[in-house]
Amino acid sequence: MKRLISCYPSDYKDMTPEAFKQSILASEGRTIMGEWVVTSAPLLEGVTNAEMMAAFGADLLVLNEFDVFEKDIVGMEKMDNPIQQLKEWAGRPIGINLEPVDVDAQGQEELITLSKGRGVSKESLEAAEKLGIDFIMLTGNPATGVSMASIEQSVELAKAHYNGLVFAGKMHGAGLAEDIIDVDQLKVFMEKGADGVLIPASGTAPGVSEERAREATVAVHKLGGVVISTIGTSQESADPATIREIGLSNKRVGIDVHHIGDGSYGRMPDPENILQLGLTVRGKRHTYFKMAQSLNR
């Protein structure tokens, strides 16, 4: 087992989910996760956003709005398994968001309807397994009506029909007014079998302070879980000074993975902000190591 920040592309190929989780924890809060919306054109023609994020130092890549049945990614040719192709091109573990919509939720805004391939079901989870997806985030996009309760209900289903890592939680309200950093609720996610949780980085979603984030992080760590701190409020397109402040806050809180979202040009983080986040939380040594390594290693 190697720390994720010390891994080469070849190290991921035979890594079990258990070793994958431990490699994240062993990296001691220096893992970067980049996210992109696959239904939008990439930042640069001829290069996928997966390759772009890896080039600027992201360790983990998550695809947003990926339909596990249609399997379309704008900027790539139609193929049976684009996930495996992205792994070859970017040399990183690949995850996706699946969204457990709460059909009884009363939204703060008009809610959208998702395709079946973006929702959580036995069939979508089995499809994700077949594609070789390394981790799933049970979460909600804006105006989807995903609730903390519906996420809870989906955790056991996910663990029953999918063998990779499962992370549960919200980056923002997803169209609902509810407490998205409820420690008791996060502990229930873990008790249901989640490998870790998502919580908004302090300074992103309203009311999420370092104190609240720290309380949640300590509780989840006691249960053996990974804590992913998210920037899902379009602050991924803010100035680098803001990203630096969020990264240092995450370090004080003690989280394991620094997520940076898809709300900028090309529907991915600003590349400069991925770099700034890496430099802030792990310095030049580990950041440049990821940026410079060959895919053949």
* Structural domains in the chain, sorted by start: 20-292 (3.20.20.70)
Give the chain's mean pLDDT.
Answer: 94
DSSP, residue by residue, 69-87: TT---TTS---S-HHHHHH
Using pLDDT thresholds of 50, 70 and 90, give the confidence band for residue 177. low
Give the DSSP letter of residue 209.
-
Is the model more confident about 107 or about 243? 243
Contacts of 161 (CB under 8 A, 6+ apart): 122, 125, 126, 129
Distance CA 215, CA 175 (A): 25
166: which 2 tokens?
Answer: 């499962």
The residue type found at 86 is L
pTM for this predicted structure: 0.95
Residue 177 burial (CB < 10 Å; 0-12/13-18/19+)?
A: exposed
**One-letter amino acid identity for 67?**
D
Q: Distance of CA 13 to CAs 55, 61, 94, 122, Å?
A: 19, 15, 12, 25
Closest Cα partner for 259 from 19, 55, 65, 61? 61
Measured CA distances, 113 to 87, 96, 110, 117, 145 (Å): 30, 18, 10, 12, 9
pLDDT digits (tens, 9 = 90+) for 212-252: 999 999 999 999 999 999 999 999 999 999 999 999 999 99
